[in-house]
Amino acid sequence: MEVSPFIVLREDAVLLQSYKDFVMSNSYLVVGLGNIGAEYAGTRHNMGFMVLDAWAEDSGVAFVSGRYGSKAEVSFKGRRFTLIKPSTYMNLSGKAVRYWMNETGIPLENLIVISDDLNLPFGTLRLRKGGSAGGHNGLTNITEILGTQDYARIRVGIGNAFSRGGQIDFVLGELDAEEKAQMPQICQRVIEGIKAFATIGPDRAMNVVNTRPRPASDQQSL
C-alpha cells in the first residue's frame, strides 16, 4: 500500500517538534546580574558576573558580545546552559532577560538568575523557585518586564557591613582581600547548584544549595 507523502511529512513534523521540545527542556538560560564597565568590575553588586566569568573560564569558553549582553555556552550531562551577562546595567536587566528568552526560546521554568543580596551574610547562598525581589533593583526590573516573579534565582550574600547611608558605596565597592579569597569557592558552589537544578530538579537542588557550608577549620577537625 502506497503511503501518502502528506502522512510522512506530518510524522516528520511531529518528530521534529518532539526533538525541539526535548532540546528546550534540557536548555537553561543563566543570567548573572551586574554592571558593565571597568569601574564596576570586582564590586559586590557584580556577583552574577563573577560567577559566570568563573564558569566560562573553567569550561574553556569565552563570552561574545551580543545585543543586550555577552553570551557564552557550556554543557553538562546533556544539558545546555546559555550564560548571559546583561549590558543594560542593573536597573534594566529585564530587557536583557526578555530578549534572550525570546532569542533562545528557553522557557521561563528554565531561567535562573544570579544576584547579590544584602540580607544574607557574605557567601551564604539561597536558591528559590520564585518570590519577591527583596529590594534588588535588577530582580525588580526582571519581574516587571516578565510580568511574573515565578522564575528561579540564586542569591549570593554580600553582607551588610556598612553604616547608615552607606549602602550604595558598599554595594558598588570592591570586595576586600578576605572576601576575594573566598570567591573561587563561592562561585563553584553556585555553579554546582545550577547544575543540580538542571539534573536533579529545583527542589532537591535547594536542599544542596541552601545548606551553609561547614567552615574549613571545622572540616579539618573531623
Q: Which domains does the chain have, with CATH numbers?
A: 26-220 (3.40.50.1470)
At 58, list the grid cell.
Answer: 573553567
**Are 27 and 80 a contacting pair, CB within 8 Å?**
yes
At 206, list the grid cell.
Answer: 535547594
- For residue 188, pLDDT over 70 is answered with yes
What does the mean pLDDT of the chain come to? 90
Confidence at residue 211, expressed as pLDDT on a 0 to 100 scale: 74
- For residue 21, pLDDT over 70 is answered with no
How many angstroms separate the CA atoms of 220 and 222, rounded? 6
Length of the chain: 222
- Beta-bridged to residue 81, according to DSSP, are 28, 74
Report the share of the chain in percent with pLDDT over 70: 84
- For residue 129, pLDDT over 60 is answered with yes
Closest among 78, 45, 58 to 198, alpha carbons compared: 78
Q: Which amino acid is at 62?
A: A
pLDDT tens-digit profile of 58-117?
999 999 999 999 999 999 999 999 999 999 999 999 999 999 999 999 999 999 999 999
Catalytic residue, candidates 32, 34, 45, 104: 45
Average pLDDT, stretch 141-157?
A: 98
At 99, list the grid cell.
Answer: 530578549
Confidence at residue 16, expressed as pLDDT on a 0 to 100 scale: 46
State CA 48 to chain mean position distance.
7
- For residue 23, pLDDT over 80 is answered with no
Average pLDDT, stretch 192-219?
A: 82
What pTM value is reported for the model? 0.86
Rounded to a whole number of angstroms, the distance between the first and last alpha carbons of the chain is 74
At 194, list the grid cell.
Answer: 545550577
- Catalytic annotation on 136? no
Confidence at residue 1, expressed as pLDDT on a 0 to 100 scale: 55
Close Cβ partners of 175 (under 8 Å, ≥ 6 residues apart): 42, 43, 44, 183
Residue 181: how many CB atoms within 10 A of its CB?
Answer: 10
